[in-house]
Structure 1
Amino acid sequence: MDKHPENGFFKRLLLFSVQRMKAFSQLWSLQTLADLPDRLRNLWQELIGSYWFIPTACVIAGILLAPLLVTVDQHFDRETVREISFAFTGDDDAARAIMTAIAGAVLGVAGTTFSITIAVLSMASSQFGPRLLRNFLTDTPNQFVLGAFIGTFSYSLLVLKSIHKYDVAFGVPQLAVTFGIIMAIICALLLVYFVQHMVHSIQASHVIQNASNDAINNIHYWYGDYCDIQHQRDVEQHDVEQFHQWQATPIYPPQSGYLQHIYLESLIILTQEYGGVVHLQSNLGDYVTDKNVIGHFYQRPTDHPNNRQKTATPQLAVVPRAPDGMFWQRFAGCIRIEQRLAHSNDIAYSLGQMTEIAVRALSPGINDPKTAVNCVQSLTSCLSIMMRRQPPSPYHFYVPAEHRDKPPYTATPKQVVAQQRVAILALVTYTPKISEFINTSLGEIRRYAAADAMVLKALCQAMVNLNYACINQAQQQTLLHELQLIERAGEENLSYQELIDDLVAMCEQAKQFILDEDAQHQHFNYVSEFAANFRQALQSQSS
């Protein structure tokens, strides 16, 4: 036994501290720096999503600008200031009165704008849904207007403090007071702009357009312009088909909540350290508990050839190992789970905003099918872009540094010699198909609009419009299946037989148009039976 037990305690505490510091250094270098652009972008989105960031920045700018201009005033020629026609040249009492009036006015207007913002948020929450509140909170003009008022108030207080009564020569900061007057005029103009902007921002068409732009940005983030040929060659390797036969360890999330972000580069580095493949079966936006199995870690066999190629030194072989405590600690930093569903790069979340607007518009309390039709049209535009672009691949590979910058082919005068590329399967993620996006967006609207002929016909027209962007037979079959569901919803829920016949006729014409091989070069124009008979009657009378 140790004769000095307190020394043993301190030794154990010191050893534990050193181990934790080493673990923290590994955690920081491997998890944070690997996906630094994505992490900074997510941090910036959080700051923009908070209503305090831009106003706080404006207050800090006002606090820094006030002593700066006062210092410039003390070293500036007063005669030159008097030659400026719009500059303030009054005494200390006039300066104090002006700055006091400006500070009181802008603070009162700031309270008014804050009250208007709260009223708009309350109305938007009831009419468009709580998921759309972030679009109003992250509205940069609203934040900047409030920040300009509060920043001018802070600036006026500090300038007012620097005005001295018994030091007329240097106690009246004329340039600082002049700048305060200019800021007051700008704040008055910003108040007019704020009212006009708020009236425009609560319009349904404007809200839908903002949600559509957000969805399009996320689509361009995930979907590529062209097919990566080299990546397709990497997918053809045998590990893609055989990794499910390796020894598997279930992966549990560190906590319950919504899966917000997946840092791919960090996960790829983690899998190479342990010699395996991580297969995530949960998608962004899914709710998971700490007991859910969100994926598996497949450990490579000991005799696998990639075990000797995953390090910077090819001859150095690292034996694959099972996940340990450090693995789970680092894995917790590779994903981000939040207790509430927030904005992210998830396409389904962006499309769900427009879907929620349409569903609320179809509720009996609002009863606005025109807004639902606008949502259907915006969703059609987003889905059409997705169908024309290259979907993201679920397979992610680790490529050593010496192979990343090499071109896949080296051209010679006589032949093209292919260079061997080392790409090790490291991560497999869940990638939703276009059929799933159609079902969770337009399909959800169809279920709530089963008794509304206007929206059902708009959905039928949406299938025709999406057909122009079809690139394969599977997408075409998805549209035909959705048309059958639209037709069945109308037959079972519409009130009048005439409406049912009209919808069925439109769906049949749409099916024939989609099945036409040359449909993408033709124009679809639905003509109802009544309109056809009426047109035939007019032609017969004219003849």
Structure 2
Amino acid sequence: MRTLIFRNLAELRQNYWFWPSLLTAVAFFLGLLLPFLDEALGAEWMEAVPFLRPTGVDGARAILTTLAGATLGVAGVAFSITIVAVNFASSNYGPRLIGNFMGDRMNQIVLGILVSTFVYCITVLSTVHAQNQVLEAEMGAFVPQLSVLFSLVLTLVSVGSLIGYIHHVPESINIMNLVAQIGTKLRASILRTLDEEAERRRDSVTVDVSAWRTRPLDAGSTLRAAGPGYLQQIDVSGLEGLAGEMDGRIVIHRTPGDFLTRGEPILTAHPQVEEKMVERLRAHVTQGTNRTEMQDILFLSDQLVEVLTRALSPGVNDPNTAILCLDWLRAGLSAFALGEGQAPPEPEGRVLYARVTFAAMLTRSFGNMRQHVAADRSVTLHAIAVLTDLAVVATNETMVRAIRGELDRLGAAAADRLPDRVGRAEAEAALIEAHRRIAGRADEEIGASTVREPE
């Protein structure tokens, strides 16, 4: 059940039909129910309100028709603006960032408000009729006064949402806001992973999972992928319950974010169990066409790296954006480095799996960007400073060794790829200074390496 809920929620977050459809359904039922309330109240209540006057049949029809046509037209324009913004972000920042815009709740709700206002006006319009128009001499003129007033309120809401939407669209494609959004998610995901390790047995907690082994053990029943797709989520709590039920252990072989083809092993249950139990294990594993950020924290760091590498491509050549990505990557990795480190695997646990470590994220991130960073003098110097600051806040020597290794590899790449002799000399001097500061990191101030020196 949890896996089914996860799959549906992940799809709804990046789906443009859910909120517009929900709001449209609500507007349709309001358009049916409010006229009944109008019929019960009549128009006498308007006499107690000085600034309200009853609207005639023709006036109500004109108001509702005008509002319906206007809101539908604005909804079309808003949808067009959204498509243009998505296309711009995809071509400039990377196609994998489209999900950030598709999952933007503001865009979905604004489109839903505009469409639902149109549906409400049309629904109420169908209840307005003149005397003897429907049934001769049996039905008098009817104008749902309260419903018409509510349509004006919806129009004001639509105008306000349109103003907010026009402000929101350029803000959402601002590269500084976009990178900050990804960086904030990355830091929050890392903090959640570290803080909730002790609470991973709770069903409401999402944990980040990595592979314990890459090959199945000889004995036991192995759950294999039924088809191609990315491993999105593993319900460790549910697997622990099944492991206790069968009085055995489960070994996880793959990590959320890994791409699987049909027949590849996902996990193995020990001792060997019946096929029915294997299918119950499958219910706690989610596969899909895309990577998600729910358990795959490397997905977010990969997004920052993608923006950085595009910024340093010859066609763009934007080192300031690359430096911005490094700053937000440092925010996430600092949260990792300030932690006590991931808990070691528990050989006696019911479910055996490893966790994504600081060293793994550091190596993956800087390894994928190194050849691009090393070709730019300013970005290289900033990357060295970022790595130095990470080493200062690192809580154990394993992290420091990983950072030293990345510094040496970046220095070697810069010596090979920086085009001018002065830049290479600056990078070499910065590398020497970085190792000096790391050696005396106990006396270094946090963040001192990335402080901008006065000119």
Superposition TM-score, scaled by structure 2 size: 0.88
Give the match for residue 185 of structure 1. Answer: 156
d(CA) in 2 for partners of 1:58, 1:88? 29
Give the match for residue 99 of structure 1. Answer: 64
Alignment of 1:515-534 (within 5 A): 515-521=439-445, 524=448
8 Å Cα contact 2:340-2:395 kept in structure 1: no
8 Å Cα contact 2:389-2:447 kept in structure 1: no
CA deviation map 1:349-406 (0-9, x unaligned): 1111111111111112222111111011000000111222355546579xxxxxxxxx
The CA deviation at 1:293 is 3.3
Q: Please, which of 155, 161, 164 is the counterpart of residue 126 of structure 2?
A: 161
Give the match for residue 377 of structure 2. Answer: 453
1:429 aligns with 2:353: yes
Give the match for residue 246 of structure 2. Answer: 274
The CA deviation at 1:281 is 2.4
d(CA) in 1 for partners of 2:408, 2:246? 49
Give the match for residue 336 of structure 2. Answer: 386
8 Å Cα contact 2:386-2:450 kept in structure 1: no
d(CA) in 2 for partners of 1:225, 1:78? 59
CA RMSD across the alignment: 2.8
d(CA) in 2 for partners of 1:359, 1:522? 27
Give the match for residue 63 of structure 1. Answer: 28
d(CA) in 2 for partners of 1:152, 1:527? 52
Moved more, 461-470 or 250-259: 250-259
In structure 2, do the counterparts of structure 1 residues 486 and 57 end up closer, same or farther at CA, with 3 Å as the change threshold? same
1:367 aligns with 2:301: no
8 Å Cα contact 1:225-1:390 kept in structure 2: no
Q: Secondary structure at the match of 2:232?
A: strand
Residue 367 of structure 1 aligns with an amino acid whose one-letter code is N
In structure 2, do the counterparts of structure 1 residues 517 and 172 end up closer, same or farther at CA, with 3 Å as the change threshold? closer
1:347 aligns with 2:319: no
Give the match for residue 201 of structure 1. Answer: 172
8 Å Cα contact 1:271-1:278 kept in structure 2: yes
Q: Please, which of 152, 155, 179 is the counterpart of residue 117 of structure 2?
A: 152
Alignment of 1:39-438 (within 5 A): 40-87=5-52, 89-166=54-131, 171-224=142-195, 247-299=219-271, 322-393=272-343, 395=345, 425-438=349-362
Alignment of 1:2-41 (within 5 A): 32=1, 36=2, 40-41=5-6
The CA deviation at 1:106 is 0.4
The CA deviation at 1:227 is 7.1
The CA deviation at 1:269 is 2.3
The CA deviation at 1:245 is 9.4
d(CA) in 2 for partners of 1:522, 1:265? 38
1:498 aligns with 2:422: yes
Give the match for residue 311 of structure 1. Answer: none
d(CA) in 2 for partners of 1:526, 1:151? 50
> What percentage of residue pairs aligned between the two structures are identical?
26
Q: Secondary structure at the match of 2:287?
A: strand
8 Å Cα contact 1:509-1:526 kept in structure 2: no
The CA deviation at 1:297 is 3.3
d(CA) in 2 for partners of 1:194, 1:256? 38
In structure 2, do the counterparts of structure 1 residues 391 and 76 end up closer, same or farther at CA, with 3 Å as the change threshold? farther
In structure 2, do the counterparts of structure 1 residues 512 and 395 end up closer, same or farther at CA, with 3 Å as the change threshold? closer
CA deviation map 1:293-345 (0-9, x unaligned): 3444333xxxxxxxxxxxxxxxxxxxxxx222112211221211113334433
d(CA) in 2 for partners of 1:522, 1:207? 26
In structure 2, do the counterparts of structure 1 residues 85 and 219 end up closer, same or farther at CA, with 3 Å as the change threshold? farther
In structure 2, do the counterparts of structure 1 residues 86 and 392 end up closer, same or farther at CA, with 3 Å as the change threshold? farther
d(CA) in 1 for partners of 2:190, 2:349? 25
The CA deviation at 1:73 is 1.2
In structure 2, do the counterparts of structure 1 residues 442 and 45 end up closer, same or farther at CA, with 3 Å as the change threshold? same
Give the match for residue 27 of structure 1. Answer: none
d(CA) in 2 for partners of 1:396, 1:162? 68
d(CA) in 1 for partners of 2:178, 2:9? 22
Moved more, 175-184 or 263-272: 263-272
CA deviation map 1:165-216 (0-9, x unaligned): 1179761111111111121122122222211110111100111111122222
Give the match for residue 418 of structure 1. Answer: none
8 Å Cα contact 1:261-1:337 kept in structure 2: yes
d(CA) in 2 for partners of 1:275, 1:59? 50
In structure 2, do the counterparts of structure 1 residues 77 and 60 end up closer, same or farther at CA, with 3 Å as the change threshold? same
Residue 429 of structure 2 aligns with an amino acid whose one-letter code is A
Q: Secondary structure at the match of 1:259?
A: strand
Structure 2: stretches of 5+ with no match in the other structure = 133-138, 200-211
8 Å Cα contact 1:451-1:490 kept in structure 2: yes
CA deviation map 1:83-124 (0-9, x unaligned): 435545221001001100000000011010111111111111
Residue 217 of structure 1 aligns with an amino acid whose one-letter code is A
Alignment of 1:472-483 (within 5 A): 472-483=396-407
Q: Number of residue pairs matched?
A: 435
In structure 2, do the counterparts of structure 1 residues 331 and 526 end up closer, same or farther at CA, with 3 Å as the change threshold? closer
d(CA) in 2 for partners of 1:523, 1:144? 40
In structure 2, do the counterparts of structure 1 residues 161 and 437 end up closer, same or farther at CA, with 3 Å as the change threshold? same
Give the match for residue 411 of structure 2. Answer: 487
d(CA) in 2 for partners of 1:394, 1:429? 10
d(CA) in 2 for partners of 1:380, 1:55? 38
CA deviation map 1:438-491 (0-9, x unaligned): 122233222222211111111111112212321001111111111111111110
Structure 1: stretches of 5+ with no match in the other structure = 1-31, 229-239, 300-321, 398-423, 536-543
Q: Secondary structure at the match of 1:290?
A: coil
In structure 2, do the counterparts of structure 1 residues 275 and 225 end up closer, same or farther at CA, with 3 Å as the change threshold? closer
